[in-house]
Amino acid sequence: MNTTFILDGIEVSEHIKKNLHDRVMKLKENGITPCLATILVGDDPSSATYVRMKGNTCEKLGIVSKRIHLPIETTTEELVQCIEELNLDVNVDGILLQHPVPPQIDERTAFEAIDLRKDVDGVTSYGFGQLAFGFGKYPCCTPAAIMTILDYYNIQIEGKHAVVVGRSPILGKPASIMLLNRDATVTTCHSKTQNLVEIVKQADIIVAAVGRPNFIQGDWIKEGAVILDAGYNEGNIGDVDYEACFEKASAITPVPGGVGPVTISMLLKHTVDSAELRAKK
């Protein structure tokens, strides 16, 4: 009988936050308080909830949460001006632009306005390039969370065949790069991939990042595969058919309580990393 191990993201997140708390206290002793600035444009309720959750977690750790709420009619130019002001604020260590933004805003232009030193969410193309070369300081937080979970549970990456289902620039692509940088053999699949099921069946490690509920089916999984479900769909449903895949996997992340909590912790870790660099100047 197969025994499947649940990769508990809440446990991993709590471990990270305990370490961060100690680091924040040390920074404060030296007169530095880490600060994360979050920008919300408009009134999307899900985005507002995410920003509030991140802010509350910051405050519990002693990190300043600077929340900026711009009206829904904000232009690209106005948003960029706001970001540039935060770039110049020496007390701000990280900038998070909550997405999606309203349709009149050029999101990519706004992302690129973020100073690389404060790009703690890993959204700039410059940061992506550094990640590809293996020296990026702040990778996208969800892929970073996936790698952190693998490391926390001592799951071997080197030499394994990892299949990433999804190719978004802030999840699928950077996840593929990070796995490749750790010596996995990586196949990246997407909506145009042929024979998707056959490819997934070859995977030792599966990253589900497609944004479709219950997309990855149990009969796609080979015995003993490790599954990291980065999907979060309406109704707290992941991209993986959890019950069916649980029967085959050696280890799997639940939704909720898997990759999500660690993603938020990685955002805060990057903010503290940035504050420590500020303290050294």
Q: Are residues 175 and 86 in the same domain?
A: no
The parent domain of residue 83 ranges over: 30-115
The active-site residue out of 93, 119, 121, 273 is 121
The active-site residue out of 54, 118, 160, 248 is 54
Identify the pLDDT of residue 218. Answer: 97
The pLDDT tens digits for 38-53 are: 999 998 888 888 888 8
Kindly state whether residue 166 falls inside one of the protein's structural domains.
yes
For range 56-69, the mean pLDDT:
95
For range 194-213, the mean pLDDT:
97
Residue 132: how many CA atoms within 13 Å on its side-chain side? 9
CATH number of domain containing 49: 3.40.50.10860
What is the amino acid identity at position 102?
Answer: P
State yes or no: pLDDT of 136 exceeds 70.
yes
Q: Are residues 161 and 84 in the same domain?
A: no
The strands making up 35-41's β-sheet, listed across from edge to edge, are 64-70, 35-41, 94-97
Per cent of the chain over pLDDT 90 is 90
For range 105-123, the mean pLDDT:
97
Per cent of the chain over pLDDT 70 is 99
Identify the pLDDT of residue 47. Answer: 87
Q: Are residues 145 and 103 in the same domain?
A: no
Q: Are residues 195 and 100 in the same domain?
A: no
CATH number of domain containing 188: 3.40.50.720
State yes or no: pLDDT of 240 exceeds 80.
yes
Kindly state whether residue 111 falls inside one of the protein's structural domains.
yes
Mean pLDDT of the chain: 96
Q: Catalytic: 54?
A: yes
Kindly state whether residue 44 falls inside one of the protein's structural domains.
yes
Structural contact between residues 91 and 79, judged by C-beta atoms closer than 8 angstroms: no
State yes or no: pLDDT of 173 exceeds 80.
yes
Q: Are residues 161 and 111 in the same domain?
A: no
Closest CA to 139 of 171, 165, 107: 171
Kindly state whether residue 230 falls inside one of the protein's structural domains.
yes
Q: Are residues 144 and 240 in the same domain?
A: yes
Identify the pLDDT of residue 44. Answer: 87
Identify the pLDDT of residue 46. Answer: 83
The active-site residue out of 98, 239, 241, 269 is 98
Identify the pLDDT of residue 189. Answer: 98
Q: Catalytic: 156?
A: no
Q: Are residues 151 and 76 in the same domain?
A: no
Q: At what angle do helices 172-181 and 125-132 cross, to 10 degrees?
A: 30
Q: Are residues 182 and 82 in the same domain?
A: no
Kindly state whether residue 108 falls inside one of the protein's structural domains.
yes
Banded model confidence at residue 219, pLDDT cuts 50, 70, 90: very high
Identify the pLDDT of residue 261. Answer: 95
Total of domains in the chain: 2
Identify the pLDDT of residue 281. Answer: 80
State yes or no: pLDDT of 145 exceeds 70.
yes
Identify the pLDDT of residue 2. Answer: 62
Banded model confidence at residue 57, pLDDT cuts 50, 70, 90: very high
Kindly state whether residue 13 falls inside one of the protein's structural domains.
no
Q: Are residues 245 and 159 in the same domain?
A: yes
State yes or no: pLDDT of 1 exceeds 60.
no
Q: Catalytic: 202?
A: no
Q: Are residues 170 and 101 in the same domain?
A: no
For range 235-259, the mean pLDDT:
96
Q: Are residues 145 and 250 in the same domain?
A: yes
Q: Are residues 110 and 154 in the same domain?
A: no
Identify the pLDDT of residue 87. Answer: 98
Is the whole-model pTM more than 0.85? yes
Three-state DSSP class for 139? coil
Q: Which two tokens stand for residue 206?
A: 């599966």
Kindly state whether residue 4 falls inside one of the protein's structural domains.
no
For range 128-133, the mean pLDDT:
96
For range 159-172, the mean pLDDT:
97
Kindly state whether residue 273 falls inside one of the protein's structural domains.
no
Q: How far apart are CA 62 and CA 276, in angstroms?
A: 14
